[in-house]
Each structure stands twice: as structure tokens, then as C-alpha cells.
Amino acid sequence: MNKIILIGGGGREHAIANQLRKDAPKAKLYVIPGNAGIAMIPNTECVPIAATDINGIMNFAREQAPDLVFVAPDDPIALGLVDRLHDAGIRAFGPTQAAGEVEWSKAFSKDFMQRHNIPTAKYGTFIDFELAKRYVETMTPPIVLKASGLALGKGVIISYSVCDAIVSLKEMMLNKKFGDASSTVVIEEFMEGTEVTLLAFVDGENFAIMPTSQDHKRAFDNDQGPNTGGMGCFSPAKALPTISPDHDVIKTIVEPTIQGLIKEGRVYKGVIYFGLMVTERGTKVVEYNARFGDPECQTILPLLKTNFIDIIDACIDGTLDKIDIKWEDKAALCVVIASKEYPEAVRKGYPITIGDLHKDVTLIHCATLRTDECTEFANDNELVTNGGRVLNVTTISDTIEKARNLVYNEIDKVTFEGARYRTDIGA
């Protein structure tokens, strides 16, 4: 491997870049667009092209002729970047647009689950407000409303009364709260239970599951406040610490999903994300994502013992059954440091200070930037905030409690104006 292009610029991509750096030590790494933390990785260059600028990425990829393009975020998958790379004869890791539809259309993914008898919440899909309203009026709260399209992990509203649900429906369908993403809305029953993330590598036919994890999606402690992209994570998930090959989740969810995609001509290669709800009446699917989760990725990837490049190659070549993927038998934990206003629109550009961190914790950058001129708050060449989820502090340890103590002992060494984090990750 001489040259790798990685698409994305968040915490997930910082963790992927670290792993690629470790397992392909000689390769030159280009990250589109990357962030200030990724730019500090040796022999790594950030390229200022947006992850959604498919033509810009294609021009850069044709110029560079890389050995591999790793497509990490949801948007470029939905926009068909992997298909374009394949057409240009460039080796790419990630699902095609058709396979990735399990994430970019919740309407598709719910119908897919129904077609293949994969357990999930009862639902209806609507493009007409009046029909949606009538459906909601037949439901018992809580009621879950979802924008069908991509909405940065924020397109789900849980309403505790029919009245609130109708107000939210109006926001979504008539006032386009999530833009075009909410012109189609999925309305579903609320599932009571514990959420678990299960990720798997897939080569089309074979799959290899990764350690389970649990993301904390709500903005504030004790699962209060609005949904976010994820405020912290730990592994293994307490509700589903291990999954044997004959576990229900494999037989009723993972295998039927991979096989269903093959049957529908949407052969899936890459990382697939199963958002699960462990309920009293079995485990059901909340959602699929067509990629690593964020912050699940930065939580569990450091546990990987097998060479990451070998796994990526096996997924692309359809030889995943030939390798035995090994993980550290340890716990991992990640806490997100966010801007004050997140998940609402945030102010950016606040200088970040980072003290001397314990050698066993890793600082991951999600939305950071190095200024190239003086700004309202910062000097030239200063590290500043550049979005909602700004940094992560992660570690691996023997137990979740030890990992928790270590991260929370260190986290206040990383700060900026308005920095905020949940204090109960893994508790």
C-alpha cells in the first residue's frame, strides 16, 4: 500500500486514520477534508475538498491513482461515490449507493426489514401530512417520528402525546424542519429497551461481527434532552456483551440482512451498522447505518489486533472467510466534548487548550481547525473549535469502570469556551 485516500473529517475518521497509519506505516495518507488532529498524523495530508463534492473527490482520486479509497461517512455513500470510484477502476472500501440505501432511506430500510421478516418496530411511511396525522391519531404514545432521509443523526423526534406528535409532524412535513430529508416521514411504535450497536465487516456474502458497544444519543446526563449524533460510548455493551455465532441476533437479524441484500441485487461490502433495541420480547432493529458509527468507531477500533488493511482487502475481494479477526478482550470508552449549543447550531472558532494527558488516553479530534489568520477569538495558527462535537477522550482498559475513571480524570485537561460533556458515559 503506497497511497490511501480517506474520505471524511470527524472523530470516526481520526480513529480510522490512526489505524491506517499503524497498519500501513509506509503509505501516504490523504484525508478529504480531515481536521486539525488528523493533520498532525505523520505522513498525512488533509485536502480541502468537501466529503460531498463527488466530482472534486473524483478529480483528486484520478490524479493521485491511490491503492485504496476508504469512504467513511454516510453522505458520499448516498451520493454514489463508491460506484463512481468502481467505474473509474479505483479500489474503494464502502457500500455502493444501492446497498447503502439501508441507511439513506429509512422508508426503504423499514420496507426491506418487513420483506425479510427482520424484527423491527411497527411503522407507516407517509408523504402526505393529512394521512400521517390520521395514522398518528390511531397510535398510543410515545410515538416515534423519523425523517426518511439523512439528517446528521438528528432526524428522529419522540413525542409523548398525540398532540405533540402532530405539532412535530407539521414541523417536519410542512415546514421542512430537516429539509428534503423529512418530505417522507416514517412513523413508528416506540420500543422500550436498551440500545446496542453491533458493527460487522461484510464482503458481500461473509461477515465478521465486531465487539458490541453502546452509544449515548441524548444530549444531557440521564438520557435527557434532544437526540444527537452520539455523546459517548462504551464497549462491550452491558445488555449484549457477547454474541455467539448461533445467537438470535445473528440468525434473525444479521444473516437475513446480508442475504436479503444479495437477493435484492444490492450486494453489500464494507462496514454495516445494526442499531439494535434489546427488549423484553427479543432484540429488534432500530436502524441500519452503511458505515462505522461515530463515536462507536473511535471506541472500538483501538481494540482491533488484526491488520486493518488485511480486513479491508478481504471485504473488497470477498475473502473475509479466509481471515480470523482478533480483538483485545478489553473494555473501551469514549466521551465526546461538545460545543455549548450542540445539537443546535453552534458558534465556532473558540481556542482549545490541551494539557498533558495520561499516556493511556487518546485524544480524538472531531471538529477542530487550525486558523490561518487572526479571528474574533483566536490568534493565527491556533487550534479552534469548528463544529458541534469537537473532541473525544478515549481509552481501553480491563473494565469499563477503570476506563471511565481514567477518561473522567483526564477530560478537564481539554477545554474551550462553552465545552460540555456528559458525566455518565458507561455509568
**What does the binding site for ligand GLY look like in residue numbers (CB under 6 A)?**
153, 215, 229-230, 289, 293-294, 296
Residue 287 binds ligand AMP, judged by CB under 6 A: yes
* Part of the chain binding ligand AMP (CB under 6 A), chosen from 15-23, 62-70, 188-196, 405-413: 188-196
- The residue among 31 and 144 lying less far from ligand AMP, judged by its C-beta, is 144
- The residue among 286 and 333 lying less far from ligand AMP, judged by its C-beta, is 286
Contact partner, 294, from ligand AMP, ligand GLY, none, Cβ < 5-8 Å per class: ligand GLY
> How far apart are the C-alpha atoms of 154 and 156, rounded to whole Å?
6
C-alpha distances in Å from residue 211, one per residue of 15, 107, 202, 235, 399: 16, 28, 15, 7, 14
Q: Tell me the backbone φ, ψ of residue 199, rounded to 5 degrees.
A: -110, 150
> How far apart are the C-alpha atoms of 405 and 293, rounded to whole Å?
24
Distance, CA of 355 to chain centre: 28
Residue 315 binds ligand AMP, judged by CB under 6 A: no
- The residue among 215 and 313 lying less far from ligand GLY, judged by its C-beta, is 215
Distance, CA of 159 to chain centre: 24
* Part of the chain binding ligand AMP (CB under 6 A), chosen from 97-105, 184-192, 255-263, 336-344: 184-192
Question: 344: buried, middle or exposed (CB in 10 Å: 19+, 13-18, 0-12)?
Answer: exposed
Binning the chain into helix, strand and coil, the percentages to the nearest 5 are 30, 30, 40
**Cis? peptide before 76, omega within 30° of 0:** no
Residue 111 binds ligand AMP, judged by CB under 6 A: no
- The residue among 211 and 229 lying less far from ligand GLY, judged by its C-beta, is 229
Residue 121 binds ligand AMP, judged by CB under 6 A: yes
Residue 350: CB minimum distance to ligand GLY, A: 24
- The residue among 30 and 288 lying less far from ligand AMP, judged by its C-beta, is 288
* Contacts for 63 with CB less than 8 Å, ≥ 6 apart: none
Residue 298: CB minimum distance to ligand AMP, A: 18
Residue 240 binds ligand AMP, judged by CB under 6 A: no
Q: Which residues, numbered 212-231, are part of the site for ligand AMP (CB under 6 A)? A: 217, 227
Q: Quote the cell numbers at residue 270.
A: 464494507
Question: Which one of residues 53, 67, 111, 195 is an interface residue with ligand AMP (CB under 6 A)?
Answer: 195
Q: Tell me the backbone φ, ψ of residue 233, rounded to 5 degrees.
A: -160, 155
Residue 74 binds ligand AMP, judged by CB under 6 A: no
- The residue among 111 and 195 lying less far from ligand AMP, judged by its C-beta, is 195
Residue 306 binds ligand AMP, judged by CB under 6 A: no
Which residue from 203, 20, 10 is spatially nearest to 94, judged by alpha carbons?
A: 203
Residue 416: CB minimum distance to ligand AMP, A: 27
**Angle at Cα 209 formed by Cα 283 and Cα 255, nearest 5°?**
60
Residue numbers at the binding site for ligand AMP (CB under 6 A):
121, 144, 146, 156, 188, 190-191, 195, 217, 227, 275, 286-287
